[in-house]
Amino acid sequence: MALRKWIWLLLGLAWLMPVVAQAQSDTDCPEIVQTAFVLTTANCDTLERNQACYGHLVLDAEPQTGYPNFTFEQPGDVVNVVEVRTLRLSAMDENTGAWGVAMIKIQADLEQTMPQDVTFLMFGDVALDNATQLIPVTAISEVNIRSEPSTVSTILATLETGDVVTASGRLEDSSWLRVLVPGQPDKAGWVFVELVRADAEVTTLPVIDLASLGDESAEIGPQYGPMQAFYFQTGTDDAGCPEAPNSGLLIQTPEGVAEVTLLTNEVDVQLSGTAYLEAQAGGEMAVNVVEGSAQVTSMGVTRTAVAGTSVSVPMSDTLAPLDVPGPPEPYDEDTVQNLPTNILDRPVTVAPPLETQAGVPLDGEWQFVWAIEDMACPDGTTISFEGSGLNSVTIQDSGASLVLSIGEFTRVAEGQYRRIYTDDTGNLHRDTLQVEGPDLINGEAVIEFSELDCTLTAPFSLLLLHRP
């Protein structure tokens, strides 16, 4: 345990001693919050990768199909997340002192030499459902895990009789099962179904379309590991006192790594940092970024939240997205001021709300993307735009112009900028930018080709990645 955590824990326990001696009916909201986080820090200190820990009462759980039943009987109980189907935490009850807290660590979907963890901290009225379809299978003899469902494909690993692995998919005829390779959570391979015993119906697994896997069939790609895809919902505005946060989910990625991808309520969230999530069926899911940045994608549209802002997605009654994400907005300071970031693996300071100005993009690093792959000139010449955009650009707003690493654009109206220039080959460019939000710019490039009797109008976009 980090020194800072130990100091915080000892101070909390010292404060707690006279409290626990009181009658249960004397507990109040600040004491319950303090007790819950102090005990969670102590109870879950030894939590390991891909495990869930019962931090503070009350927590109910259901197992995945095929796994033995289990119960969280007392704080400090731990279970492997691959076995968990649902988690249900309790809202605050000042009469009994109950207020559910749980901590989860999952494998980050990163190509790292040393695997790293993503931390979930859930508190209050929270329900979490594992959306990943997984079942355990046991080798009934020596079994090779192969890169493709074929006896002549590359062997990735070999199982001994009795070894158990997790199946994540199948061929349409269920003759081969796709399994996670032991010790390599970013890899998946295939086993012949007659050489393993499944502890549940394999037909419950998703069918894998081999044509969609391409040449890298051993890469998991869009499939998700345990708890990397989930549904969740929370209470709303239910903090019982100023010292308590509203019910929600804190997610923190490892320090100094690229984005970690999660699928939450069918919304793609690429997070690098620390975010506080809330969601209500028939309401909204909010991704509040307190440190770092997050790209939130729904229905093909991506918006970026940086520290101090929030991106929201409308939710159906079944916790599915109803629309595209809204633009980032400064979050409510009251919503984030009491988050327990000090008990995370990497304590962080919650950023103040970030004020944005209409028609002005945020300074930072942006991604440039052509909106089309190619266009044809009247004489039939095809001009390719796919991949010809820059990987990233930096933007600074000087008031009268936007200074990009690819050139300077002059302000012509609120949120609109333009530049005209000739490139090294003599082509004349007339580019226009329209700021759609602090994180999104749509553009249009009109190009007159010097060696062709051709003028093309190509749309493009700029998406904020992160701030300095």
Same domain, 238 and 328: yes
CA distances from 104 to 87, 117, 367, 409 (A): 11, 10, 32, 47
Question: Domain tally for the chain?
Answer: 3
For helices 3-20 and 29-43, the axis angle rounded to 10 degrees is: 130
- Would residue 123 count as lying in a domain? yes
Which residue type occupies 158? Answer: T
Neighbours of 216 (CB within 10 A): 9
| Digit-coded pLDDT (tens) for 370-387 | 889 899 999 999 999 876
Q: How far apart are CA 113 and CA 288, in angstroms?
A: 30
In tens, the pLDDT along 1-10 reads 444 444 444 4
Are 409 and 456 part of one and the same domain? Answer: yes
Residue 307, domain extent: 3-131+228-343
Answer yes or no: do 19 and 126 share one domain: yes
Per-residue confidence in pLDDT tens, the chain, 468 aa: 444 444 444 444 444 444 333 333 346 999 999 999 999 999 999 999 889 999 998 889 998 877 788 888 889 999 988 889 899 999 999 999 999 999 999 887 644 444 578 999 999 999 999 887 788 899 999 999 999 999 999 999 999 999 999 888 899 999 999 998 887 755 789 999 999 999 788 888 888 877 655 444 434 344 567 788 899 999 999 998 999 999 999 999 988 766 888 999 999 999 999 999 999 999 999 999 999 999 999 999 999 999 999 999 999 999 999 999 999 999 999 999 899 999 999 999 999 999 988 888 998 888 888 889 899 999 999 999 876 445 567 787 777 888 888 788 999 999 999 999 999 999 999 999 999 999 999 999 999 999 999 999 999 999 998 888
Last residue of some domain: 284, 311, 343? Answer: 343
Cα–Cα distance for residue pair 126/236, rounded to 1 Å:
10
Domain boundary among the residues 308, 343, 378 is at 343
Whether residue 58 is preceded by a cis peptide bond, meaning omega within 30 degrees of 0, is yes
- Are 54 and 150 members of one domain? no
Together in a domain, 334 and 391: no
Residue 354 falls within a domain, yes or no?
Answer: no
Residue 457's CB: how many other CB atoms inside 10 A? 11
- The whole-number pLDDT of residue 223 equals 56
Contacts of residue 165, defined as CB under 8 A and 6 or more positions apart, other chains included, come to 136, 137, 139, 145, 159, 179, 180, 181, 182, 191
Q: Are 458 and 443 within one domain? A: yes
For every residue of 182-227, DSSP letters joined together read: TTEEEEEEEEEGGGEEESS-GGGSPBP-GGGTTT-TTB-TT---TT
Question: For residue 178, with 0-12 CB atoms within 10 Å meaning exposed, 13-18 middle and 19 or more buried, which class applies?
Answer: buried
317 found inside a domain = yes
Instruction: Give yes or no: residues 79 and 8 share one domain.
Output: yes
CA 81: distance to chain centroid? 17
Note whether residue 350 is domain-resident. Answer: no
- Position 355 in a domain: no
Task: Assess whether 205 and 239 both reside in one domain.
Answer: no
* Assigned domain for 26 exists: yes
22: domain CATH number?
A: 2.60.120.1440
Query: Does 107 lie in the same domain as 164?
Result: no
Which residue has 């692995």 as its token pair?
165
pLDDT score of 275: 98
Burial class (CB in 10 A: 0-12, 13-18, 19+), 408: middle
Q: Do 146 and 259 belong to one domain?
A: no
- The verdict on residue 271 lying in a domain is yes
319 and 198, same structural domain? Answer: no
Please indicate, yes or no, if residue 311 is contained in any of the structural domains: yes
Both 200 and 244 in one domain: the answer is: no
pLDDT for 115 = 58
